């Protein structure tokens, strides 16, 4: 299996948005990065 390189993306969000993202990630048993990737690809 080939190793895939990843990129770093930094964004600023209000604390309530971060809390919602963290809660969604925990509910899906994903990391925050994995949850954001899933959401972007689903969009």
The reply to whether 5 falls in a domain is no
Please name which of 12, 29, 1 lies closest in space to residue 38, comparing C-alpha atoms.
29
Q: Residue range 8-30: average pLDDT?
A: 96
pLDDT (average), residues 9-30: 97
Confidence of residue 41 (pLDDT cuts 50, 70, 90): very high
Domain housing 37: 12-43
Residue 3 is assigned to a structural domain of this protein? no
* Residue 24 belongs to some domain of the structure: yes
Burial 23-32 (b: 16+ CB within 10 A, else e): eebeeeeeee
The residue-averaged pLDDT of 1-17 equals: 89
Mean pLDDT for 15-21 is: 97
Please give the mean pLDDT across all residues of the chain. Answer: 93
Structural domains counted in the chain: 1
7 is a domain residue: no
């Amino acid at each position: 299996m080939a190793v895939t390189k990843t990129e770093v993306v930094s964004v600023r969000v209000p604390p309530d948005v971060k809390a919602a993202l963290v809660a969604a990630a925990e509910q899906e048993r994903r990391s925050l990065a994995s949850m954001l990737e899933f959401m972007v690809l689903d969009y």
